[in-house]
């Protein structure tokens, strides 16, 4: 069984564990792209998730115009379709928010975080094959949480009980990814992801080195002042990447 096979099986187990998961409070809609965007997600894992990776990047959870539409982490559509060469049919969630329609690869919205992240990788490595030769990108939690207004709610803003449940099932899936890819470096895209990587790596006895980069979200004033340059400095300072 390849690393991609193991991660696909773990994703299936995670989807089953999350089936019917509902949030209280202000969350009115929950999307699981591992279900309705399973086909492009599977292509992503099978094409790029095989073999050992030196660096594993991980984000928190999908954005409404990225993985929610394409099934690929930080899935800015031009990056997924044109750079990675992935364009597969995408279904729709059972309960769809009127302001957050799922249009798959026909969506015209841009996922800024994904545009920045994949844009940096494309600039530095050129082709997707060159980047994925020893790098990979995952999200910790596959679910998208939305309030009645359509505003995104991140997992760290859920109730303590909801976070505890997500942590248990998502940690299990992440443990499979780390064990399968055997990375030298675990890089959290933001502090939440870094904490999850540290917790799971410690639990499974991984000897991978831990690092972090600034999250590319447009909600971050620092990221808006040159995210690619800041992230590159961080990765070079941590010696994840050689100095350019």
Contact 73, 59 (CB under 8 A): yes
Q: Residue 133 in 3-state DSSP?
A: coil
- Cα–Cα distances (Å) from 237 to 182, 186, 225, in that order, read 22, 15, 19
Locate the domains of the chain by residue range. Answer: 3-237
Write phi, then psi, for 66 (nearest 5 degrees): -115, -105
pLDDT at residue 25, rounded to an integer: 85
Kindly tell me the number of DSSP H helices and DSSP E strands found in the chain. 10, 6
Mean pLDDT by 10 residues, the chain (244 residues): 96 94 90 97 98 97 96 97 98 94 96 97 98 98 95 94 96 98 98 98 98 94 95 97 90
Tell me which of 3.40.470.10, 3.40.190.10, 3.30.420.40, 3.40.50.970 is the CATH number of domain 3-237.
Answer: 3.40.470.10
Burial class of residue 229, CB neighbours in 10 A (0-12, 13-18, 19+):
exposed
pLDDT at residue 22, rounded to an integer: 83
Burial class of residue 161, CB neighbours in 10 A (0-12, 13-18, 19+):
exposed
Contact 107, 75 (CB under 8 A): no
In DSSP terms, 187 is beta-bridged to: 57, 211
Listed in order, strand segments (DSSP E) in the chain are 27-31, 55-59, 135-139, 144-147, 185-189, 209-213
pLDDT at residue 185, rounded to an integer: 98
Q: Of 29, 23, 41, 40, which is closest to residue 100 (Cα–Cα)?
A: 29
pLDDT at residue 1, rounded to an integer: 87
pLDDT at residue 217, rounded to an integer: 93
Give the span between the Cα atoms of 168 and 192, in whole angstroms: 15
CA atoms within 13 A on the CB side of 16: 8
- Cα–Cα distances (Å) from 206 to 56, 157, 183, 191, in that order, read 13, 28, 9, 19
Contact 147, 153 (CB under 8 A): yes
CA atoms within 13 A on the CB side of 21: 23
Region for 171 from its dihedrals, namely left if φ exceeds 0, alpha if ψ lies in -120 to 50, beta otherwise:
alpha
């Amino acid at each position: 069984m390849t690393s991609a096979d193991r991660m696909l099986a773990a994703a299936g187990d995670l989807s089953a564990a999350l089936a019917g998961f509902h949030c209280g409070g202000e969350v009115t809609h929950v999307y699981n792209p591992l279900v309705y965007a399973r086909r492009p997600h599977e292509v992503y894992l099978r094409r790029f998730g095989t073999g050992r990776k030196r660096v594993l990047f991980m984000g928190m959870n999908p954005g409404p115009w990225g993985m929610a539409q394409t099934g690929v982490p930080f899935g800015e559509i031009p990056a997924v379709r044109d750079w990675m060469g992935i364009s597969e049919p995408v279904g729709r969630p059972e309960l769809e928010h009127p302001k957050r329609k799922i249009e798959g690869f026909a969506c015209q919205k841009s996922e800024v975080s994904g545009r920045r992240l994949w844009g940096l990788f494309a600039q530095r490595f050129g082709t997707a094959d060159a980047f994925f030769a020893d790098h990979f990108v995952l999200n910790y939690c596959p679910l998208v949480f939305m309030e009645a207004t359509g505003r995104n709610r991140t997992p760290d803003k859920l109730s303590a009980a909801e976070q505890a449940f997500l942590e248990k099932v998502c940690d299990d899936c992440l443990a499979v990814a780390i064990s399968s890819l055997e990375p030298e470096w675990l890089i959290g895209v933001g502090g939440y992801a870094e904490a999850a990587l540290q917790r799971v790596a410690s639990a499974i006895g991984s000897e991978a080195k831990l690092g972090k980069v600034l999250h590319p979200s447009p909600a971050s004033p620092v990221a808006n002042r040159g995210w690619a340059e800041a992230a590159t400095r961080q990765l070079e300072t941590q010696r994840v990447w050689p100095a350019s």
